Structure 1
């Protein structure tokens, strides 16, 4: 009887142990889904929820669970992609789902490869802490820079603008330090400090200001924006712009959304210059420049006296716009990526950090522009295809967070 009692107790212990192990595997995945959903909801003050992700990744009991934690966080943070692709191609959800899962592959792979199991004894734990912190630092860098950074959405570093507004590069360093500490046994101290900074920032939060005499003009032309190349379209757009700024006679620079001008041609340039005749207004607007290899997604600057291409997009949307395999096979086509080109431009005496659409979701275009000490950020997008998703809201929240980190004004113009 005693033997049978001990056996039953042993079985119950093993059963309880298996149950605990199961929950240790499930809870980090559930929590990563929650912090990805909340942090990347499109509300800038909720971005710090992403700070929890490195802790959940580090707590994973196995490499497989670490990969699932990364997948849960990333897929939920980018949950608008399947519907957005379906809207863009006027098709069902399957192509969007395929792209969604494919895009997550690099994020999941990097986090799975660099995950490190917990150590055993105290001295081993100390070494493991340091190793895990270094590994997560490497993950942050890899997911911020090409090639992995091409799909490096939902990067926790973006929360730096909420936790350390105005700190600039020191704030970025503090954020990186806090994220690495979250992967060690000292995470409670890091969580308390970062949580306190979050509460303080939320209580005193003010959005980034507009620079004097600048204005962003949002449009609601859906998929029709820029697709009508007629003179009537351009004259109507000029009239719309003039009506928007009529109440602000001190405006000197007007920003229009991505793709607002359609194909950039000498004729389009002349029409806009004529429309601006007699004013001192400079218009920054999105357009496309066609060449035999494909096209460039650009910003142009137009005044009554001059018109020029101002900026070539460094990172167009992979898959739908940037299709490098067309170049590799000699077919040509798709948007060209300028990667590290023209990170800062000058408009009306201001040094500008330009960001077009997708560049607002990833890290290196922002930081490359900040290296050139711009005086204003200009963020434009054409988000008609994001209907019923939070993609545009996330783009705006990310742009605002980066602007607040570096204490810069930001001008945004989106089409929906």
Structure 2
């Protein structure tokens, strides 16, 4: 009986994790059942099975993406299982048999999941999925989301028939998502995002290859009619004053926002950045807050990519406030909450996912950014390579 119940919890978690992410944006609302499960499941091992299976299936692209990047299936498998296990253990550790105490502990669970250090691996978090029901509600939408979860959990535990009303309510929610209209974009914030499929590396010593990549993106920009253009993460490679000479040929009325790697000689590390470029100047607009932990950001070593963590919540673009998210930090929660505290007028996301082709990593990044943009009613410009 115990084994059967555990297997059922695994299957349900796999179902929710698989269909919540990497498909239709409206399906992300299914992930809210993760919050509900914490409150209504009465056995710790069943909660662990459900949550663990959810994280494994929702982040399934991580396994194949890491395997492609490192060409090491064993390392990728251990990393995939390890992150899912650590994330799941948080849920079962902040859990109690008492239903009332679970209700009071749920905010603590959210805080621990969102804030560093555990916030650094808080992928596929259900929190922004309420956007498909409450577009434009912002922080109020998050409050209403929690109230909704509490009400459903209390009714579920108190009345057996409440779960049937819940199914009906979820059906109504799916229908309501068909009537979402995106916010209008201010003319000075219309940014054309360039999508590409080029195999290039963030740190390379092959200068001829790096220059060919740079020229490819330059021609893409020149063939675009927009005045403001967004290029993917690390599109400019290891940016230097020599490379900046190419952009002097840019039309005077055009501005390019592009990802680049900048070496910091003073600290013997590099910066994963977004640059603002016109025909006669280059400006360091944004430094990535949270690079990939372990691979890029090495907190216990003096090398790797610099992390700014709580800096640059917003930047100024054409006089307007913008929130910028580079690759990995698009998957987390706390950078969005930090950014929206300052009321940005637009979100900008860039990624380089040449190594994750054929996985759901790209779609999860885009879905996460779209959900936050919809929830707070701001436009989104998203550029990805891969």
Same fold, judged at TM 0.5 (above): yes
What is the aligned counterpart of 2:339 among 358, 366, 369?
369
2:199 corresponds to: 222
1:226/1:263 contact within 8 Å kept:
yes
| C-alpha spacing 1:211/1:104, structure 2 compared with 1 (3 Å) | farther
1:157 corresponds to: 127
Deviates more, 1:58-67 or 1:96-105: 58-67
2:255 corresponds to: 282
By how many angstroms is 1:305 displaced? Answer: 3.4
2:55 corresponds to: 74
2:132/2:374 contact within 8 Å kept:
yes
Structure 1 residue 41 corresponds to structure 2 residue 18: no
Give the Cα–Cα distance (whole angstroms) in 1 for the partners of residues 52 and 30 of structure 2. 16
Structure 1 residue 83 corresponds to structure 2 residue 64: yes
Q: Deviations over 1:250-281 (max 9, x none)?
A: x2211000010011212222322x121x4211
What is the aligned counterpart of 2:287 among 301, 309, 312?
312
2:194/2:232 contact within 8 Å kept:
yes
RMSD over aligned CA atoms reads: 2.3
Pairing 1:10-409 to 2, within 5 Å after superposition = 19=1, 22-89=3-70, 91-118=71-98, 128-129=99-100, 131-186=101-156, 188=162, 191=166, 195=170, 198-207=173-182, 212=187, 213-223=190-200, 227=204, 229-230=207-208, 231-243=211-223, 245-246=224-225, 251-272=226-247, 274-276=248-250, 278-291=251-264, 292-325=267-300, 327=301, 332-409=302-379
1:354/1:379 contact within 8 Å kept:
yes
SS at match of 1:136: helix
1:296/1:336 contact within 8 Å kept:
yes
SS at match of 1:98: helix
By how many angstroms is 1:168 displaced? Answer: 1.0
SS at match of 2:114: coil
| C-alpha spacing 1:394/1:298, structure 2 compared with 1 (3 Å) | same
By how many angstroms is 1:180 displaced? Answer: 3.9
Give the Cα–Cα distance (whole angstroms) in 1 for the partners of residues 203 and 317 of structure 2. 23
Q: Deviations over 1:181-218 (max 9, x none)?
A: 44444474793686266234322134566653321001
SS at match of 1:95: helix
| C-alpha spacing 1:265/1:163, structure 2 compared with 1 (3 Å) | same
Deviates more, 1:150-159 or 1:196-205: 196-205
List runs of 5+ in structure 2 lacking aligned partners: none
Name the count of aligned residue pairs: 374
| TM-score where L is the length of structure 1 | 0.84
List runs of 5+ in structure 1 lacking aligned partners: 1-18, 119-127
| TM-score where L is the length of structure 2 | 0.90
| C-alpha spacing 1:203/1:394, structure 2 compared with 1 (3 Å) | same
